[in-house]
Amino acid sequence: MSSTHFGYQTVDEAEKAGKVRGVFDSVASRYDVMNDMMSLGLHRAWKAYTVAVAALREGDKVLDLAGGTGDLAKAFAKKVGERGTVVHTDINEAMLRQGRDRLLDKGLALPTSICDAESLPFATGSFDLVSVAFGLRNMTHKDRALAEMCRVLRPGGRLLVLEFSKVAAPLQKPYDWYSFKVLPALGKLIAGDSDSYRYLAESIRMHPGQQELKAMMKTAGFGHVDVHNLSAGVVALHVGIKC
């Protein structure tokens, strides 16, 4: 049986999805609070930048993968208007439920679906834009997921991947200290779960860096890929255009 990584652990590929599901089941109810604490509120600026780069027009069709608690889906829905569509998805039911309820509280009833990004239940060429924010690194077969994202886009459609990446070298030591000392402590204090936040820090280190992910996106079928480093590379926004 093939193996893969779960943070710094090596596990059977068949086990990873269940382990990731356990992490997000554990943190779902406190996810938004922890995002603010972990990023010192910067995740809001990163997402706002992503929405600006998306440059959506009224009537566009958008697929938001690993949409979680719905920050991007909500912002995209405002841009595409009543003639457009934003499909809010996640593989994790607990996270998707949190997002659906939060969107409903804002008066937004969006199409919502539990789905695996490695095998999307949508027709080829269905969307103008696909987005995945802070979710790609948790996927077992990133190459399959990227190929599926490319498949469901129309020709000329765009993929936005917002994800933690490789930080600039001068910041590596303080970033490591924050990630492996402060984050688990915050997780224990706020969410009652230090192990899940230790995994999240490890998963960031195991995720492909900026240039490696750019190459993966090109292999998946994106003819042009731009990389936008945010906060000195703590996060990167990759923008791919389907051939």
117 is in an annotated binding site: yes
Nearest to 36 by CA among 190, 181, 185, 171: 190
DSSP string for residues in 46-89: HHHHHHHHH---TT-EEEEET-TT-HHHHHHHHHHTTTSEEEEE
Nearest to 224 by CA among 156, 163, 149, 132: 156
Strand pairing category for 153-164 and 222-230: unpaired
64 is in an annotated binding site: no
DSSP string for residues in 156-171: EEEEEEEEE-PPPGGG
For tokens 């936005």, the residue is 160
Alpha-carbon span 235 to 134, nearest angstrom = 9
123 is in an annotated binding site: no
69 is in an annotated binding site: yes
Sheet strands side by side (includes 235-242):
112-114, 85-90, 61-65, 127-133, 153-164, 235-242, 222-230
| Binding site listing for S-adenosyl-L-methionine | 69, 90, 116-117
